[in-house]
Amino acid sequence: MSFAVMSGVLTLEEARAAETQWNKELFEATDNEGVFKALGASNPEKSDKVKLVAPDIAENGAVVPIALSADMDNVTMMAFLIPENPNTMTGMFNIPEGTEANIATRVKMAKTSDIFGLVKAGDKYYLAQKEVKVTLGGCGG
């Protein structure tokens, strides 16, 4: 963050504000329950309106394509959780009002694991799940 301040990308006040909003507990969680607790998502329910797309087998764990979409109103947050990675919270995206709830990215996976897609719509959390088998080059090697 100091580089962003020194290069003029952020003011010192903006950098301090970003630091106070950092949810350390969320990104240090090592399992789904820790992530749910940090978010205040006590009991996410599985929903067929949440679609998680990922390969059955990832031949290279260093680059695994995944996507998440939600066919529901008032989606404000979408996230990927991979419990077998060093940090379960793999990616979190804020969804602005009026935006289609559809994200795609690539992640690094340490080893074979279930991937969870977590969606917040209104004041409820929803979940989708898929196992991905990793055969080469994950986070651990």
Q: Is residue 21 part of a domain?
A: no
pLDDT at 4: 47
Q: Is residue 57 part of a domain?
A: yes
Q: Is residue 22 part of a domain?
A: no
Q: Is residue 70 part of a domain?
A: yes
The rounded percent of the chain whose pLDDT value lies above 90 is: 67
Q: pLDDT tens for residues 54-106?
A: 999 998 899 999 999 999 999 999 999 999 999 999 999 999 999 999 999 99
Number of structural domains the chain divides into = 1
Q: Residue 64 maps to which CATH number?
A: 2.60.40.2470
CB 16 within 8 A of CB 25: no
Q: Is residue 103 part of a domain?
A: yes
CB 50 within 8 A of CB 92: no
Distances (CA, A) of 55 to 64, 112, 130: 8, 12, 9
Q: Is residue 71 part of a domain?
A: yes
Q: Is residue 58 part of a domain?
A: yes
pLDDT at 16: 58
Domain that includes residue 55, residue range: 40-134
Q: Is residue 29 part of a domain?
A: no
